[in-house]
């Protein structure tokens, strides 16, 4: 039987209280990794960590980690170091949208999305990478989006961050490869989560016309791709993008 065993690995997933991040955290826990669940609210993160731990018999911990705030990221990461010494797997999943047509987009709309989606990713990755370098093993998976490749009306800020993650991924992959740390990106299409629940029915139908597989994806569809990239089966893949979008791009 072929299986993925991450029982000696410690993972941190940003934005894992809901949606794609939660599905990723659950699947890593199913593969026996220890998992840090994070979100802006400590109690919520702890509750999700307890649920995943109890349901799957996995070792989990829930921490507040606000990606818009470097101090919050540093505090959370130092708790992880205190508990487990660091992480082997980092999934940069947390991301926000502040959609507006470009002519109405304020500097604040622009900066808020960059702060969470790009600067937060830089800060948490800088911290996590130190232990990976020492251990000469690491897996970093960045969650981008199909709109980083196609562009989208009303998402100049968001799409810029998601394309930005491509440069981040490819450059970091080259810098870390000699230490056996892979850096890859997963680019989801339209996935059923709170982020897409706000779309009008008309817009959903419009998007569906362009998805050959004929449905929006599930968070689990994305989680499978992330698990693969964290596994030994992907040990010779780095700087790569895995598109999970039902064929739309
Ligand atoms: N859904 C899609 O169709 C889709 C498509 C392509 C790409 N993506 C990308 O996939 C990732 C996850 O999306 P999703 O749809 O699962 O989103 P979601 O349902 O909106 O969940 C977002 C997660 O991020 C956390 N979060 C929000 N702001 C945060 C902050 N400032 N600091 C730390 N955590 C924060 C939330 O936790 P708390 O509220 O507890 O803080 C939550 O766990 C994002 O990067 C998104 O851009 C999604």
**Going by C-beta distance under 8 Å and a sequence separation of 6 or more, which residues neighbour residue 67?**
14, 15, 73, 94, 115, 116, 117, 120, 121, 124
Written in H, E and C, the secondary structure of 208-232 is HCCCCCCCCECHHHHHHHHHHHHCH
What would the mean pLDDT of 35-51 be, rounded to a whole number? 98
Catalytic residues: 158
What would the mean pLDDT of 63-77 be, rounded to a whole number? 98
DSSP state string for 166-207: HHHHHHHHHHHGGGTEEEEEEEE-SBSSHHHHTS-HHHHHHH
Give the pLDDT band (50/70/90) at residue 73.
very high
pLDDT tens-digit readout, 140-173: 999 999 999 999 999 999 999 999 999 999 999 9
Segments making up each domain of the chain, as ranges: 10-244
Task: Quote the ligand 1 centre to 16 CA distance (angstroms).
Answer: 8
Task: Quote the ligand 1 centre to 17 CA distance (angstroms).
Answer: 9
Task: Pick from 12, 13, 21 the residue to mutate for probing ligand 1's pocket: most ligand atoms within 8 Å of its CB.
Answer: 21
pLDDT at 32: 98
Q: In this structure, are residues 229 and 159 in contact, taking their beta carbons and an 8 Å threshold?
A: no
* N-term to C-term CA, the chain: 33
pLDDT at 189: 98
Alpha carbon separation from 213 to 80, 111, 246 (Å, rounded): 40, 35, 5
What would the mean pLDDT of 47-73 be, rounded to a whole number? 98
CA-CA distance, 159 to 172, in Å (whole number)?
20
With a threshold of 0.85, does the pTM exceed it? yes
pLDDT tens-digit readout, 76-90: 999 999 999 999 999
pLDDT at 159: 98
DSSP state string for 178-189: GGTEEEEEEEE-
CA-CA distance, 188 to 217, in Å (whole number)?
8
To which H or E segment does residue 23 belong? helix 19-30
pLDDT tens-digit readout, 195-247: 999 999 999 999 999 999 999 999 999 999 999 999 999 999 999 999 999 99
**R_g of the chain computed on alpha carbons:** 17
**Fold entry, domain 10-244:** Rossmann fold (3.40.50)
């Amino acid at each position: 039987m072929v299986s993925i065993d991450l029982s000696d690995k410690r993972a941190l997933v940003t934005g894992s209280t809901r949606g794609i991040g939660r599905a990723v955290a659950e699947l890593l826990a199913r593969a026996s990794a220890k998992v840090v669940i994070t979100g802006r609210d400590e109690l919520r993160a702890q509750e999700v960590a307890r649920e995943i731990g109890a349901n799957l018999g996995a070792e989990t911990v829930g921490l507040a980690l606000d990606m818009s705030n470097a101090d919050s990221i540093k505090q959370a990461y130092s708790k992880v170091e205190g508990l487990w010494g660091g992480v082997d797997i980092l999934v940069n999943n947390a991301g926000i949208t502040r959609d507006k047509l470009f002519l109405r987009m304020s500097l604040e709309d622009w900066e808020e999305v960059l702060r969470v989606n790009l600067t937060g990713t830089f800060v948490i990755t800088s911290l996590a990478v130190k232990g990976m370098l020492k251990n000469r093993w690491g897996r970093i998976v960045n969650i981008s989006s199909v709109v980083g490749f196609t562009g989208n009306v009303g998402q100049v800020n968001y799409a810029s961050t998601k394309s930005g993650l491509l440069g981040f991924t490819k450059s970091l992959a080259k810098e870390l490869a000699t230490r056996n740390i892979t850096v890859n990106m997963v680019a989801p299409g339209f996935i059923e989560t709170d982020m897409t629940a706000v779309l009008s029915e008309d817009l959903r139908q419009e998007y569906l016309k362009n998805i050959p597989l004929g449905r929006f994806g599930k968070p689990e569809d994305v989680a499978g791709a992330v698990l693969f990239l964290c596994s030994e089966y992907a040990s010779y893949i780095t700087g790569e993008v895995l598109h999970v979008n039902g064929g739309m791009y």
